[in-house]
Each structure stands twice: as structure tokens, then as C-alpha cells.
Amino acid sequence: MYSAHRAPQLPDPDPPLHNLPESEFWDELRKLEGTPQEVLENSELKQLLLPTLRADFTVIETYAYAAEPPLDCPITAFGGLQDKKASYDQLNPWQEQTNAAFSLKMLPGNHFFLHSAQSLLLEFLSRDLHQLVNEVANRDLL
């Protein structure tokens, strides 16, 4: 399962954030609408979080995709309907990364739909995992 990130074979259409000057970095984080306002207004907390956030963005933005054979396991991708960073067209190509079943579920919300659509997301996850467990159990019984 994957959430809110374009398929790995697609190039990043956005300029990198990890090496921006600090004030610009925080401005871009604000635009993503996922960092609580209390954090953005607390300079001490921002200084504490900055190295971790930069490291996270560095890993994501410097990843280099290497073509590999598709996986033999199902992939479910999740996205936010109002997400400007990972649209349907950027999530749907995850299907090229599997030989098994693929499912794409778009939920209400932006890049951080994990918060705004939490109960719906958990419902989908629960149902998908339950189905997967049943399939494995039935296969093992054969």
C-alpha cells in the first residue's frame, strides 16, 4: 500500500525543497497544508524539527528510480482528491509496479488526507487487509 506519492517511475515535476533557504523551506511546508499552525509559529519547535524534515525531503527528492521487474504482490494506492502533489494521473501508474491486483482509492482531502479522511482510510485498509488474510488462508488450505 502506498499513500500520496507519485509512482516511482515518474519524474518529480516540482523543484526540490530540501535545500531551500530556511524561510523558503517553511513557506513551502505551509503551502502543503499539513504542518500545524502552532508548529509554524513556534521558532524553537521549528529549529528542533528542521533537520528531520530536511532529511525526509532529501531522501524523497534525491531518490533515483531503477527499473525492476514488477512485484508479485497486490498494490493499493491512496490519494487525496484535492492533492496538488500527487494527482490521480501520478498515482495510477503504480499499477505498472505489480503483476498482481492494483487498486487506486482517491479520498476527500489534500496531500494530508490521512488526517481529513482518517475513518474512511482505516475502513479501506481494514477491508483490504481482511481480504488479503482470507486469500492467503484459503491458498494455504489448498
Which pLDDT belongs to residue 132?
Answer: 83
Answer whether residue 2 shows pLDDT above 60.
no
Could you tell me which residues are beta bridge partners of residue 75? 102
Which pLDDT belongs to residue 142?
Answer: 62
pTM: 0.83
Q: What percentage of residues in the chain have a pLDDT greater than 70? A: 96
Query: Taking the domains of the chain in order of start, what are their residue ranges?
Result: 2-6+72-141, 22-62
For residue range 66-114, what is the model confidence (pLDDT) as tens digits? Answer: 999 999 999 999 999 999 889 999 999 999 999 999 999 999 999 889 8
Name 47's Cβ contacts closer than 8 Å, sequence gap at least 6: none
Task: Give dist(CA 10, CA 12) in Å, integer.
Answer: 6
Task: Give dist(CA 19, CA 10) in Å, integer.
Answer: 21
Task: Give dist(CA 18, CA 84) in Å, integer.
Answer: 18
Provide the grid cell at 11.
Answer: 519524474
* φ and ψ of 128, to 5 deg: -65, -45
Answer whether residue 123 shows pLDDT above 60.
yes
Residue of 124, 108, 104, 125 lying closest to 116 (CA atoms): 108
Which pLDDT belongs to residue 4?
Answer: 81
> What's the rounded mean pLDDT across residues 48-63?
95
Answer whether residue 3 shows pLDDT above 80.
no
Answer whether residue 16 shows pLDDT above 90.
yes
Which pLDDT belongs to residue 1?
Answer: 47
Q: 110 with 116: CB under 8 angstroms?
A: yes
Q: CA distances (Å), 34 to each of 22, 30, 73, 87, in order?
A: 17, 7, 31, 17
Task: Give dist(CA 109, CA 72) in Å, integer.
Answer: 30
Mean pLDDT of the chain, nearest integer: 92
